[in-house]
């Protein structure tokens, strides 16, 4: 994956995951009534920058760990 693809992937995956998670979590906390949209927006705006930073820094490390764990015991 080149740098441009990596940045686009980080941006899109963090946006979509944050939209879904903040929506579900805020909905289960306050209910899916009229106040929910405001809470969802507030939660998203707080969480998305963090998710983007984590996607750019931690996720590549997790991907490397996953590859390493999947290859433990595999003959070379």
| pTM for the full predicted model | 0.77
Task: Parse the chain into domains and list their residue ranges.
Answer: 3-70
The pair of structure tokens assigned to 23 is: 């929506």
Exposure string for 1-18, b = 16+ CB within 10 A, e = fewer = eeeeeeeeebeeebeeeb
**pLDDT tens across the length of the chain (76 residues):** 799 999 999 999 999 999 999 999 999 999 999 999 999 999 999 999 999 999 999 999 999 999 999 998 776 6
The pair of structure tokens assigned to 39 is: 């809470």
């Amino acid at each position: 994956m080149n740098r441009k693809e990596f940045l686009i992937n980080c941006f899109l995956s963090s946006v979509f995951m944050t939209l879904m998670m903040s929506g579900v979590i805020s909905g289960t906390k306050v209910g899916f009534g009229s106040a929910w949209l405001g809470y969802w927006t507030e939660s998203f705006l707080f969480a998305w920058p963090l998710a983007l930073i984590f996607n750019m820094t931690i996720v590549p490390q997790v991907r490397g760990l996953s590859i390493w764990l999947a290859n433990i015991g595999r003959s070379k």
